Amino acid sequence: MVKLPRQFIYGSLAWICATSIVLVNFAGDERAIASSTHPLITAAQLPSFAVPNSTPVLPSEVERRGTLESARIYLDGKELFRIASPVVLDRSNPGDLIPVEIRAKQIEANLQQTVSSYRSNETLDRNTLQVIVETINEQPVLFVRDRTQAETKVLLTVTDADAQYASTSKERLAQQWRETLEQALRLALELRKPGALKQQTAVATQVLMATLGLSLLFGAIWTKLRHRRKHLEQRQATEIAAAPATASIATELDEPRSWLVQELQQYLGWQRRIQFVRVLQWISFWAIAFIWMVGIAYSLSLFPQTQQFARKVITIPIFVLLTWFFAGLINRVTDLLIDRFIQNRKQDQSLTESNLQRITTVASFLKGLKLFLIYATGLLWLLQSLNLVPGSVLILGTLIALAISFAAQSLVKDFVNGLLILLEDQYRIGDMVRIGTVAGRVENLNLRITQIRSDEGDLITLPNNLITQVENRTRLWARADVRIEVAYQTNVDRALAIVRETIDRMARDPHWQTIILDTHEVFGVEQISHAGIMIRVWIKTMPMKQWDTARELRRRLKNAFDDRHIQIGIPQQIWIDNGLVQSDRIEADRMSESERHP
């Protein structure tokens, strides 16, 4: 069985919730229409004109043009035409005026009632159905009738506002609407025949089966890509762990670039492959989402009972998913472009290790910043596309500001301190640092957190607001502090000469010559104790080379001391027992033994 991605399950639940909300709102609209006044009276009523003196917030389905407001008329989810009414300034207290959206709902209710009756004595005959125009109180009124009905049913009244909006006469507009309504009603009745319902059910079943099959196919692709990504991540971790051995081989071959640069190149190479697989995995997930979205939308559009609200059910989820999709697509494309830029820059032989580290750190910061900007822009575009009123946006912004001020103060501090760390270049990705009691290599840095890999391999995450003092061990240059003890009886001048000779020979080595910068900062006897004579030397090196230099120097000193028979310091201990030193105690034990055995 193919395991669908967890993100798809969450997306499906969100889509179902959005659909349920729209259905509840639609049901409420239907109840409001059912409780309204008689359609013939309300539809034929001619409201008076009013000139607006303000700009109120309009419903989402209403458009204003001058002194008129218009709304669309739908039947089974298809737009037929637009009706118009004079501007209503105060919709909470319209007085004698009828808002255009209320009139549109009344007309749609008349049309829906005409095609939704299935009792034998009320069913219209599509072959003899006619829409006729009669003039009542000097207003054209559209009725529907057929040979099976004794009475005609009113549909709507063509008003002066309708004619003014369409820039034609009421009579001509009534004839245009008559032809449109007659065709739409016949098609609606045809779709509601028992045979058509069976065919629609069969097609919807096939569509859903095809949707399920394609979902399983892309789900299998997503699962395979996930295994592939984990395999690449494991290989990346294995090769990075084996990088020191590769570095030693490069040292013997006198590679011109350091181990840090080679490790960075290797990491970016693997990272690009992993990022590409992630993009494919992301596309397969969205393929599943779009397949279900299209399948459900098409299935709903097949049935006339669902066509009338299919558009409302699909519009909001489509806007949300499309915004989410394109925001994610732009985000991942920019990630690939940034990685491609870093890959090209790291091949520039003129760049130093410090430049490469700086580029990598800034790129990590840019990824986090553009992620926020892209999704924030997508959210604003979504709010605008859904025609949310400015007041709602202001209220939302106020609530977000309050939430940030009361519940996210530390988060703001993280962002501010993270920005200062980047601007001041306090440390970079790849630097060896000590922050408080935490020491290790900086593995990740963004505006909110800093992640450090300790010497034991633990990944430690620190919020940026907690970072007050940083010890950067790899900035510009470093220092190897080497201390070695020789035996107390050693000739100190001879020992110092051997140490100096060993250091100078190492500094002249072709490999270490570019790494060691200075060997004369500190050199001499640091301490004399019961353990021996401590010799201390400071060696100035390139960044992150102090540990390698110290290890190599200790190895060479050990070989040099062995060749010249110089011993390392050995702690001197004297045991005292009852006021006698250890040697006196041994002599007393020998005398006692001779007395017992004369």
Same domain, 278 and 333: yes
Question: Model confidence over 391-418: pLDDT tens digits?
Answer: 555 566 666 666 666 656 777 788 788 8
Domain membership of residue 8 (yes or no) is no
- Number of domains forming the structure of the chain: 4
Same domain, 133 and 210: no
Same domain, 469 and 333: no
Alpha-carbon gap, residue 341 to 44, rounded angstroms? 68
Same domain, 171 and 205: no
Same domain, 222 and 321: yes
Name every residue whose Cβ is closer than 8 Å to that of residue 314 and which is 6 or more positions away in sequence: 293, 296, 297, 300
pLDDT bracket for residue 233 (50, 70, 90):
confident
Alpha-carbon gap, residue 98 to 43, rounded angstroms? 10
510 pLDDT above the threshold of 80: yes
Domain membership of residue 447 (yes or no) is yes
Q: Tokens 């190599």 label which residue? A: 552
Same domain, 369 and 505: no
Residues of the domain holding 522: 478-563
Q: Identify the pLDDT of residue 49.
A: 39
Same domain, 257 and 377: yes
Provide the 8-state DSSP code for 567: P
Identify the three-state secondary structure at position 490. Answer: coil
- DSSP assignments along 33-61, one per residue: HHTS--HHHHHH--PPP----S-PPPPTT
Same domain, 363 and 410: no
Of 359, 388, 417, the residue that ends a domain is 388
Q: Identify the pLDDT of residue 47.
A: 41
Domain membership of residue 85 (yes or no) is yes
Alpha-carbon gap, residue 211 to 221, rounded angstroms? 15
Of 332, 359, 388, the residue that ends a domain is 388
- Among 18-27, 266-275, 411-420, the least confident range: 18-27
**236-247 mean pLDDT:** 62
Same domain, 317 and 381: yes
Q: Among positive and negative, which fits the CA dihedral 359, 364, 369, 374? A: positive
In terms of Cβ atoms closer than 10 Å to its own Cβ (0-12, 13-18, 19+), residue 168 is middle
Domain membership of residue 24 (yes or no) is no
Domain membership of residue 10 (yes or no) is no
Alpha-carbon gap, residue 195 to 193, rounded angstroms? 6
Percent of the chain's residues with pLDDT above 90 = 20
Q: Tokens 């790899």 label which residue? A: 474
Query: Which among 290, 292, 296, 337 is positioned nearest to 313, based on CA atoms?
Result: 296
Q: How far is CA 350 from CA 344, 511, 533, in A?
A: 12, 19, 46
Q: Are 311 and 248 in contact (CB under 8 A)?
A: no
CATH number at residue 543: 3.30.70.100
Domain membership of residue 384 (yes or no) is yes
Of 164, 192, 220, the residue that ends a domain is 192
Q: Does the reported pTM lie above 0.85?
A: no
Query: Which among 142, 146, 143, 131 is positioned nearest to 184, based on CA atoms?
Result: 131
Same domain, 121 and 141: yes
**473-487 mean pLDDT:** 88
Q: Identify the pLDDT of residue 115.
A: 79
536 pLDDT above the threshold of 60: yes
Percent of the chain's residues with pLDDT above 70 = 70
Same domain, 227 and 118: no
pLDDT bracket for residue 555 (50, 70, 90):
very high
Question: Model confidence over 165-186: pLDDT tens digits?
Answer: 999 999 999 999 999 998 888 8
Torsion angle of the four alpha carbons 253, 254, 260, 264, in this order, in degrees rounded to the nearest 10: -60
Q: Identify the pLDDT of residue 83.
A: 92
Same domain, 447 and 483: no
CATH number at residue 449: 2.30.30.60
- Among 67-76, 213-222, 238-247, the least confident range: 238-247
The overall average pLDDT reported for the chain is: 76
- DSSP assignments along 500-541, one per residue: HHHHHHHHTSHHHHTTEEES-SSEEEEEEETTEEEEEEEEEE
Domain membership of residue 300 (yes or no) is yes
Domain membership of residue 577 (yes or no) is no
